[in-house]
Amino acid sequence: MSNYCAAPRLLVRVIDHGTLYSSLTVGVLIFLVVRYMRSPWRKLPPGPKGLPIVGNVLDFRDKRWLFSPDLRKQHGNVIYMNALGKSMVILNTQKAASDLLDRRSHIYSDRPRLVLGSEIYTGGTFLAYTRYGDLWRRMRRAAHECLTKTAAQTFHDAQSKEAVILTSDILKNPRGRNEHFTRASASMIMSILYDLPTIRSLDDINIKNIDAHIERLADVTNPGNYLVELLPWMKYIPSKFAKWKRDGEFWYAKDSAMFESLVHGVQDDLDKGIERSSMSATLIKDQYRNGLTERERAWLAGTMYAAGSETTASALQWWSLAMVAYPETQKRAQEELDAVVGRGRLPSFADLPHLPYIRAMVKETLRWRSNLPLGVPHRLTEDDWYEGMFIPKGTICFSNIFQCNNDPEVYGEDYRHFKPERHLDADGAETKDEGHVMYGFGRRICVGRHVANDSLFIDIATVLWAATLEPAKDSSGKTIPLDVESYTDVGLVWYVFCVLCSVFFHPLSFHSRPNPFDWAVSPRFPEAPTILEEQLELLGH
C-alpha cells in the first residue's frame, strides 16, 4: 500500500521540479531578451558588415573607399567598424567631428597605448603619443604659449629668409622642387626651435640625426614588429631578457642626449646674453612656470620638428601642383602681388593684411588636399551617445579630414576644384573662419598651426612674386597632362590595422603627396633674379 502512495508523491515531486526548471529557463530567456533589447550595443552607428574574427579589416584594401563621396551616402556621417574586436568610428562631416572631438574633448582627447614606441622608446614625452593626463597638459600648455598667434610673429624674419632662399633655389634648379621644399621646411623649423643658422643641405648632421630618430620611431611602431604592443604585460620582463626593451632604453637615452644638446646650445647663448627668438629659449625662460623638466622640454621641442617639417613640405608640394593645374588662380594671385607689392621689392609680412587672395590660397591648399587624410586618431575614455548612437569606451575615433574638407554641403558642388576665392566674402576680404579642418579638432588640434600658416603665406607669396609656374612640355612641344587626383601615401590597410591593435604608426607617417610631375619655372620679370640675389647678400648668403 505504501508503495502505491509513494508513486503519486514522486510524480508530484517530478512535476514540481520540471515546472521549476521550466520557469527558470523561461525566466533566464526573458532576462536575456530584455537585456539584449536594452543593450546599448544594439544602437551602434551604422557601418559595413564585417567578417567573423577579422571584422572590417579587409574593407580597407581599397583606400579610396574612405575618400569616396559614396561613403556617406552608403553609411552616414558617423560610421562604426570593428577589427579584431577593436571598435572604431569614422567621423565624415565637420559637424560630427566638431560635436564630439571639440565639444566633448574631455573624453575624446586620449591616444591609443604604445608600450615600446611611447612608454619606453620616447619615455612618454613625445607629445603626439602622450596619453591624456597631467604631463600631456603641461607640455601642451607650454607649447601653446610658445606658438600663439602673437608669439609666432617673432619668427617672421626667419621665415622670410627661408622664403627668399627657397625661391632662389627653385629658379636655379626647378627639377629639385621637392628637395627644395623639404630643405626649406626643415631649416625653418630648426631656426624656430633652436635659433640655428640656415640649413643648406639635407645632409646637415642635426637633420640627419633627427630624421634617423623618426625612422627608428616608425620602425618600433610598425605592426607585428614587437609583440609587446599586443601583450603589454611583456613590458615588465627584465631588460636583460628582452633585447627589444634594451634597445628601446638605449635609444631613449641616446636621443634624449641629442635633443638636450640642441637645447643646451640655446642655454649657452642665453648665459652669454645672446637672446634671440626661439621656442627653446622661451621654454628655458619659463621653466618654473611651465613645470617641465629639462628632458621634457628637450623632447617637446623635438616633437615640434617632427610635426612641422613634413607637413609644411607636403602642403607646398600640393600647392605647386595646383599652380600648374589652375593657371588662372596663379594669375590672380600675381595680379594682387603686383598691385600691393609691386616689382621693386620682395613681399613681406607687412603685406599680409593687404593680400587676402594669397591668404585664401593658403587655406585652399590645406583644404583641397589634406596631408593627413584620416588625421591622427583619438581614443574615447568613456561610453558616449551621439544622436541616438552608442559609442563604447575605448573606441578609436578618426576624423575623416579628406571627407570633411571635400563636403559639397559645405564647399559647394565645385569642391573638387582649387578655388581660393571660396574663402573670400562678397567684398573680396578673407573670411574669418579657418576654412578647413586640416589641423584637427579639440584639445589635440595642431599647436603650431599659426607658424605653419605664416610659413606657407610667405613662401607662396615670394615664389609667385618672382616666378611663373607652368606645365612641362614633352620633346614635341606638347603640354604634359597632369593628374591632380593621384597621390602617394603609406599603406592604409596596415595603418588602420596597427591602430586597432593599439600599435598605430608614427602619426606623421601617413601623409599624402602628389605623384611626381614635371613643371616649367621661369622668372616672371627680368629684375626678379637680381632682386633675389641682392636680398640673399643682405642676409649673408
Joined together, the cell numbers standing for residue 150 give 602673437
pLDDT tens digits for range 152-174: 999 999 999 999 999 999 999 99
Would you say residue 435 has pLDDT above 70?
yes
Q: Is 149 exposed, middle or buried, given 0-12, 13-18 or 19+ CB atoms closer than 10 A?
A: exposed
CB count in 10 Å sphere of residue 450? 18
Q: Specify the 3-state DSSP secondary structure of 86.
A: strand
CATH number of the domain at 299, please: 1.10.630.10
pTM for the structure as a whole:
0.88
Q: Is residue 73 part of a domain?
A: no
CA dihedral 176, 179, 188, 118 (to 10 degrees): 170
Q: Is residue 332 part of a domain?
A: yes
Give the chain's mean pLDDT.
Answer: 87
Would you say residue 512 has pLDDT above 80?
no
Q: Is residue 407 part of a domain?
A: yes
pLDDT tens digits for range 35-86: 555 678 889 999 888 888 778 877 766 666 777 777 888 889 999 998 778 8
Give the DSSP letter string of 429-467. PBPSS-S--TT--GGGS-TTHHHHHHHHHHHHHHHHHHE
Q: How many structural domains compose the chain?
A: 1
Would you say residue 178 has pLDDT above 80?
yes
Q: Mean per-residue pLDDT for 368-380?
A: 87
- Look up the domain containing 165 and give its range: 86-538
Q: Which residue did the predictor score with more confidence, 297 or 476?
A: 297
The pLDDT score that the predictor gives to residue 495 is: 40
Q: Is residue 259 part of a domain?
A: yes
Joined together, the cell numbers standing for residue 298 give 628637450
pLDDT tens digits for range 274-333: 888 899 999 999 998 889 999 999 999 998 987 778 889 999 999 999 999 999 999 999
The pLDDT score that the predictor gives to residue 240 is: 92
Would you say residue 509 has pLDDT above 60?
no
Q: What angle do CA 177, 183, 185 make, to 5 degrees?
A: 100
Q: Is 9 exposed, middle or buried, given 0-12, 13-18 or 19+ CB atoms closer than 10 A?
A: exposed
pLDDT tens digits for range 186-232: 999 999 999 999 998 889 999 999 889 888 887 887 666 788 887 88
Q: Is residue 402 part of a domain?
A: yes
Q: Which of 101, 80, 108, 187 is nearest to 500 (CA)?
A: 80
Q: Is residue 35 part of a domain?
A: no
Sheet holding 396-399, edge to edge: 78-83, 86-91, 396-399, 378-379
**H or E element: which one contains 489?**
none
Would you say residue 452 has pLDDT above 60?
yes
The pLDDT score that the predictor gives to residue 231 is: 87
Look at the block and give the residue holding cell 551604422. 46
Q: Is residue 33 part of a domain?
A: no
What is the C-alpha to C-alpha distance for residues 249 and 247, in angstroms, rounded to an integer?
5
Lowest mean pLDDT among 21-30, 109-118, 201-210, 288-297: 21-30
Q: Is residue 493 part of a domain?
A: yes
Would you say residue 506 has pLDDT above 50?
no
